[in-house]
Chains A and B, each alone.
Chain A
Amino acid sequence: MERRVFAYSVVSTGSFDDVGVVSTEIKRDLEEAGVERETVRRVAVICFEAEMNLALYTERGGNIEVVVEPEKVVIYVEDDGPGIEDVEKAMQPGYSTAPLWVHELGFGAGMGLPNMKENSDFFELTSEVGKGTKIHSVVFRRRENAA
């Protein structure tokens, strides 16, 4: 399989109903590109958590780019939102600034970033207050049924 680049934009519409739809598209695109099931799932989970954060914490949303290569899938997430002041703190399981209504929807456990890291083989988040946040994640591909 040759290198393929998929680009998506997540638009903050103000309505939370559509959150996750872009990630389901990503999942479908990767399946169609022939990426194996387990890799698709990990990438889709990472994208879902990213998409939710874009919808919740940025005013305008952001971009997700997924690059499929023979050995790995690389994910870039970028927004020009408020940024994160203390990245180390934000990465801690359980840390969340999500408002109450988000909790009522079953989210806001402060598990998003840790879960993205957990599903990645490489994970890097850089952020600048007032400028935005960038995520670089890599998922190594494993052939189905490989040990």
Chain B
Amino acid sequence: MTLEEVAQTVEAEFLNLQERADEEVRTACAADLLSDVLAMRGEAALLITGEAAPQVVRVADVMNIRAILYVRGKRPQKKDIVKWATQRGIVLLSTPLPTFEVCGRLYTRGMRCSECFENEAD
């Protein structure tokens, strides 16, 4: 699905880089523990997380994650973090919904687990 479809499906808003709304994302992972993201096999296009600490965007960069979807209305507290993400080409989205609901809706729309569908990762 496209990032725009992701945003619509989970009622999310773009925090930056809305011009990339047409970009396709097929694989995701959901984690609050950044250690789990760093230990992930395969590549996720989308990270769904309830952790809004500055380190999340650094981890995303290192792991080639192209977009971060913050749940429960979370978002980075510092403007320069959004700026940094923009510079590195990481799209930031924020949804008021909780993780389970977000994952359920996206799965129904065809989004798949990055670790279970490693070959499909792009």
State whether the Cβ of B32 lies closer than 8 Å to any Cβ in chain A.
Answer: yes
* Interface SS of A by simple majority: helix
Q: Are B61 and A107 in contact (CB under 8 A)?
A: no
Chain A residues within an 8 Å CB radius of B35: 106-109, 111-112, 115
Q: Which residues of B contact A48 (CB under 8 A)?
A: 38, 58-59, 62
- Give the shortest distance, in Å, between B23 (CB) and chain A (any CB): 18
Contact A23 B63 (CB under 8 A): no
Q: Do A17 and B39 contact each other (CB < 8 Å), given the known contacts A24-B61, A41-B62, A45-B63?
A: no
Interface: B54 (CB within 8 A): yes
Interface string of A43-69 (1 = CB under 8 A from B): 011001100000000000000000000
Q: How many residues of A contact B (CB 8 A)?
A: 24
Determine which of B38, B61, B64 lies in contact with A49 in the assembled complex, contact meaning CB atoms within 8 Å.
B38
A21 within 8 Å of B by Cβ? yes
Cross-chain contact B32 with A106 (CB below 8 angstroms): yes
Give the residues in chain B near A21, CB-CB below 8 Å.
58
> Which of the listed residues A18, A20, A105 has the most CB atoms from chain B within 10 Å of its own CB?
A20
CB pair B61 A111 closer than 8 Å? no
A109-B36 in contact given A24-B62, A41-B63 (Cβ < 8 Å): yes
> What 9 A-B pairs come out closest when comparing CB atoms?
A20-B58, A109-B35, A106-B34, A106-B51, A44-B62, A111-B35, A17-B54, A105-B53, A24-B61
